[in-house]
Amino acid sequence: MEDLLTLIRDRAGDAPVATGLILGSGLGHLADSVDGVAIDYADLPGFPHAGVSGHNPKLVIGDLEGTRVAVFGGRAHYYESGDPRAMKLPLEVLRALGAEELILTNAAGSLRDGMGPGELMLLSDHINFSGLNPLIGEPSDTRFVNMTDAYNRDMRAALDDAARAQGVTLHTGVYAWYSGPSFETPAEIRALRVLGSDAVGMSTVPEVILGRFLGLKCAAISTITNMAAGMSSEVLSHEHTKAMAPIGAAKLEKVLRAYLSRG
Ligand code: HPA
């Protein structure tokens, strides 16, 4: 860990980072908007080999709208390795660089009629439908993390304000984590609707659990790329996710920029 921090600070300087951003499928290009230094994950020992197409596997540290950010252009998913702790080291690094808050983005399917492809949803809460937990095996009582208000109320209010100021509709809802990599069945989606989910995706939840464990304030926004399985005639595929994500990404970028510029 110390070696990693030295390597990062040698390249990017040692001014503390304020905000971390993890970018989801088809959203990785936002990393290129940062005025700063990009380091490939391949140069960061222990960082995941982000093997999912549509991700941009680099860490960019620099200025975005007057805030010093660390942007993770890609994430490792549980379904790549079977390890729900896949993003633990990057998040530990983020915390050690001084970050106090983390904003996660993801591509997700909608379970709510009236929230369609290209729209954005701010997470108010999540359902860990996978039942996996990245804190299993943590040795001390710090593993008993409180997950009430895991999605920070102040950050949510500020993101809502940012969206309103930009004229962007930001829905609010509950995200269910499905392990992937297969998509859900229509029966699973019907079950998730009954359980109170508004969107479904294959990421974010383990990172929010780890983020809260590390003391990071967390917020997350889904870019809706499709109606979930069985809710429309479109055929779900990763190609479709990557093709649709940029539509929401443009709005997401506006919201994130407005949020970061609020001073
Ligand atoms: N299900 C799971 N993950 C997803 C979806 C979906 O429908 N769309 C984008 N990511």
Question: In CATH, what number is assigned to the domain containing residue 202?
Answer: 3.40.50.1580
Helical ranges in 148-225 per DSSP H: 153-166, 186-195, 205-213
* pLDDT (mean) for 34-57: 83
Distance of alpha carbon 160 from alpha carbon 158, whole angstroms: 5
Ligand 1 centre distance from Cα of residue 59 (Å): 24
The answer, yes or no, to whether any atom of ligand 1 lies below 6 A from the CB of 129, is no
pTM of the shown model:
0.95
CB distance 226 to ligand 1 below 6 Å: yes
Question: Smallest Cα–Cα separation from 78: which of 175, 200, 177, 203?
Answer: 203
Please give the Cα distance from 134 to 78 (Å, whole number).
Answer: 10
Closest CA to 134 of 189, 90, 103: 90
Asked if residues 258 and 33 have their Cβ atoms less than 8 Å apart, the reply is: no
Ligand 1, atom nearest to 184 Cα? 1
**Strand duo 58-64 + 101-110: pairing:** unpaired
Rounded to 10°, the helix 205-213/88-96 angle is: 40
Count up the domains in the chain and report the number. 1
Is residue 26 scored above 90 in pLDDT? Answer: no
Contact 102, 220 (CB under 8 A): no
Give the number of other CB atoms < 10 A from CB of residue 248.
Answer: 26
Q: Where residue 259 falls among pLDDT bands split at 50, 70, 90?
A: very high
What are 148-180's pLDDT values in tens digits? Answer: 999 999 999 999 999 999 999 999 999 999 999
Contact 183 CB / ligand 1 (< 6 Å): yes
- The residue range of the domain holding 233 is 2-260
* 25 has pLDDT over 80: no
- Protein residue with least CA distance to atom 7, ligand 1: 109
Tens digit of each residue's pLDDT (9 = 90 or more) over 87-131 = 999 999 999 999 999 999 999 999 999 999 999 999 999 999 999
